[in-house]
Structure formats: C-alpha cells, structure tokens
Amino acid sequence: MTFLKKDRFLFVPLIGMLLISSIFGCAGSKKEAAVAPPAQPASAEPEWVRKGAGAFLNKGDKAFYGVGAVSGVMNKPLARTTADNRARAELAKVFETYSASLMRDYAASTTAGDFKKTSEEQNIEQAVKTFSAATLSGVVIVDHWTDPQDNTTYSLAKLDLENFKETLNKMKELNAEVRDFVRKNAEKAFEKLETEEQKRQPK
C-alpha cells in the first residue's frame, strides 16, 4: 500500500506538468498567430475604367468621357501625362460622333432628307471640325487610377454637355441658324448617343 501511494504521489505532479506544458504551448501558438500581418486588399478598380469612353448620365450630370491608359512607363509624371492625352483623344472621338450626328439631323431638317454633296454639306463638315476645336478646349481630367497588379495608369477626361452649349455663342464661324438648331437639339442628340453607348456596354 505504501508503494502504491508513492506511485500515486509521483503520478499526479507528472500529469500537472503535462497539462501546464500543453496550456503554455497553445498560448504560444496563439500569440504567434495574433502577430501575423493581415493580408492587404487589392485596390478596387473604378467603374469608369470598366465603362471606358462614351456619353453618360451620372447623377443628373450629362457629360462626355474619355479613358486613357498607359503601361510600362516607370516615370510617374510622364505616365500620367501620356494617359491624360490618350483620355482626351478618346473623348474627342466620342464628341466627333456626337457632332456628326447633330449635323446629320440638321441636314435632314433643312433638305427634307434629300441631302447631297452640296455647299451646305461642306459647311456642316466644317461645323463638326469647329465644334471639336472649340469645345474640346473645355475638357478636364477629373480622375486617375493606377492598377496595383500591372502598374497601368488610367486617366478620366470629362466634357460637360452644358459647357458645350455655352461655347456655342463663341463659335462665330457658325451661322445663327446652325447654332440655334444645335442648342435646341443638343440634349436629344446626347440621349441618342447615350442609348447607343449603353447597347455596346458588356452585360
């Protein structure tokens, strides 16, 4: 009996030591997990990067947009300037489509649909060029974004429809009749172009 009691007294401290060891072991592993740095989320791609250039209504604001991008340029100021210029060029393409649509509508209204290569058409072609030259000076760069995955720099250019209508009065190259038609039909032509842009957007 004495021998069994001695064994029991030795056995109990042994179990206690094992329990303490396991508890501190777990605590140590938890401490290591707690100090591990959290994963950094990737910067979310802006919606305008996905949409690209076009004529869009945003919170009641009708405007033309152009998106430019450049990759592989390590000089950040140069990359941004290049992206800005490309964004302006993309916006110019959208605005040229808009201007041409306006002028076709004007031609149809003045010739009852029988529109041929006349001096009037040449005047309208000149008007499109005038729109582009005079109006695009009001283009502003409103946003930038750099893709953290491949370091591509994106720029967003914008031209408000209201700005375009305001510049009509400065376009002395256009006769009053053309200016009046454009002013009255600017909204309608914008909505027409916006509808076409929406059809081309990926579902």
DSSP string, 9-73: HHHHHHHHHHHHHHHHHHHHHHHHHHTSPPPPPPPPPPHHHHH-SEEEEETTEEEEEEEEEE-S-
**DSSP category for residue 117:** S
Per-residue pLDDT reduced to its tens digit, 112-167: 555 555 555 666 666 666 666 666 778 999 999 999 999 999 999 999 988 888 87
Residue percentage of the chain with pLDDT more than 70: 65
Q: Is 58 exposed, middle or buried (0-12, 13-18, 19+ CB in 10 A)?
A: exposed
Query: What is the predicted pLDDT for the residue at 26?
Result: 46
The answer to whether residue 21 sits within a structural domain is no
Q: Residue 36: pLDDT above 60?
A: no
Mean pLDDT, the chain, rounded, equals 75
Give the Cβ contact number of residue 63 at 10 Å.
20
Q: What CA–CA distance (Å, rounded) separates 76 from 149?
A: 16
Per-residue pLDDT reduced to its tens digit, 2-14: 444 444 444 445 4
Query: What is the predicted pLDDT for the residue at 151?
Result: 92
Query: What is the predicted pLDDT for the residue at 3?
Result: 44
The answer to whether residue 33 sits within a structural domain is no
Report the number of distinct structural domains present in the chain: 1
Q: What CA–CA distance (Å, rounded) separates 121 from 104?
A: 9
Q: How far is CA 77 from the centre of its chain?
A: 19
The answer to whether residue 68 sits within a structural domain is yes
Three-state secondary structure call for residue 146 = strand
List the strands of the sheet with 140-146, edge to edge. 54-58, 61-70, 153-160, 140-146
The answer to whether residue 10 sits within a structural domain is no
Selected residue with higher pLDDT from 89 and 107: 89
The answer to whether residue 111 sits within a structural domain is yes
The answer to whether residue 20 sits within a structural domain is no
Q: Is the dihedral of CA 84, 182, 127, 117 positive or negative?
A: positive
The pair of three-digit structure tokens given for residue 103, joined into one six-digit string: 């002028």
Selected residue with higher pLDDT from 177 and 39: 177
What's the CATH code of the domain at 115? Answer: 3.10.129
Per-residue pLDDT reduced to its tens digit, 40-83: 445 689 999 999 999 898 877 899 999 999 999 999 999 999 99
Separation of first and last alpha carbons in the chain? 85
Q: Residue 90: pLDDT above 70?
A: yes
Q: Is 175 exposed, middle or buried (0-12, 13-18, 19+ CB in 10 A)?
A: exposed
At how many degrees (to 10) do helices 76-111 and 119-135 cross? 150
The answer to whether residue 30 sits within a structural domain is no
pTM of the predicted structure, to 2 decimals? 0.69
The answer to whether residue 121 sits within a structural domain is yes
| Residues spanned by the domain of 163 | 50-200
